[in-house]
Amino acid sequence: MSAIVQVRELSRWYGIVMGLNHVSFEIGPGLVGLVGPNGAGKSTLIQIITGQFRPSSGTLTVFGEVPWNNPRLLRRIGYCPERESLPRDLGPVDWLHGLGRLSGLRGTEARARAERLLAKVRLPREHWAKRLSQYSKGMRQRVKLAQALLHDPEFLVLDEPMNGLDPLGRQEMAHVLKELAAGGTHILISSHILAELEALCREFVILNWGRVLASGTRDTLRTDVQGWSEQLQVRCDQPEKLARVLFDAGVLRGFQLAPEGDWLHLEVRDPEVFYQRWLELLLASGVVVGEIRSESRSLRQIFDKVTA
């Protein structure tokens, strides 16, 4: 399937402050993570995707169309904002019912869908009669996700949806998002909680200072990042011997012996060659390996590398 979002030389300024700086990239189908520190341009990008802002220059299209004031396209997009502000005096069902009517649903249908979605996002029924102003941060996140799903969008854009959720809440939210993705909904999710994004997403876009530093799958990112090296921690009975064998075979860029004695830190030159020869070299060395940890596969490390 072709890209959901296509961005060409997009810039966005707020007065003299630059939100996005001449970026070009594509966002593919499935679950995609938007990664970046505060001020990286994530929310600006999301607000242009959802038709709240226009680009200062360049183009951004979603499903091939420009989002600004485009109801036909907005019918296909659901948006869950980062900010927590919700109408103070309404209960969740009434609020969702009103938004459902604005989304073109009939009265009874809108109410029924509101209730179904509140159940789907696992907001306990005993809280439905309360006003939104009485809700905790986690409960607000669930209601915000429910409103994004009201018109059954094909593409869901979530800005920091895990904020304020406790670990169980995060797990439940992740479960809901995986269910939606399995049902064919494309999801763009921004977060600074990289571990959670990593568990959820297939692809990533890494932003910083209004620029796209890298994008693609985790493996693509790792390959694309210049100077990248696979890193392993190996616990074994003779770390010095193993390091010498591997280094002599030319598969290492470097290594370090841990002061504790039985841990060896390896910096791999070419992962493909390394893993082809790893078993053969290990058997040849006669070293007994107790544990192997791959450090360099984490999104955190890729993120740290590209934002350094």
Partner 1 sequence: MANPLLAWLSLPDGESTGFLHWNVHLYVGLLMPLYCLVVCGAMIRDEVQDDTLAFLVTRPLTRARLYLGKYVCQLAWLQFVFLVNGLLLLGVGLLRDIPEAPSLAGRVLLAGVLAALVYGALGGVFGLLTRRYIVLGLVYGFIVEVGIGHIPTNINSLSMLRHLQDLLAGHPAVRDRYEWSADGSGTGVLILLGTTVAALVLGAVLFTWREFHASHEALK
- Shortest distance, CB of residue 52 to partner 1, whole angstroms? 6
By the rule CB under 8 A, 102 interacts with partner 1: yes
* Letter string b/e over residues 271-303, b meaning 16 or more CB atoms within 10 A of that residue's CB: beebeeebeebbeebebeeeeeeeebbebebbb
- Shortest distance, CB of residue 295 to partner 1, whole angstroms? 39
By the rule CB under 8 A, 69 interacts with partner 1: yes
**Torsional sign, CA 41, 46, 49, 54:** negative
Cross-sheet strand order for the sheet of 263-268: 252-257, 263-268, 230-236, 289-294
- Shortest distance, CB of residue 85 to partner 1, whole angstroms? 4
Residue placing its CB nearer to partner 1 in the complex, 68 or 247: 68
By the rule CB under 8 A, 108 interacts with partner 1: no
- Selected range binding partner 1 among 46-54, 161-169, 219-227, 256-264, rule: CB under 8 A: 46-54
Q: How far apart are CA 122 and CA 240, in angstroms?
A: 53
By the rule CB under 8 A, 79 interacts with partner 1: yes
By the rule CB under 8 A, 81 interacts with partner 1: yes
Cα 30 to Cα 27, 153, 156, 181, 188, distances in angstroms:
9, 13, 10, 6, 8
Across-strand partners of 211? 208
By the rule CB under 8 A, 51 interacts with partner 1: yes
Contact residues for partner 1, defined by CB under 8 A: 14, 47, 50-54, 69, 71-72, 74-75, 77, 79, 81, 83, 85-88, 99, 102-104, 147, 151
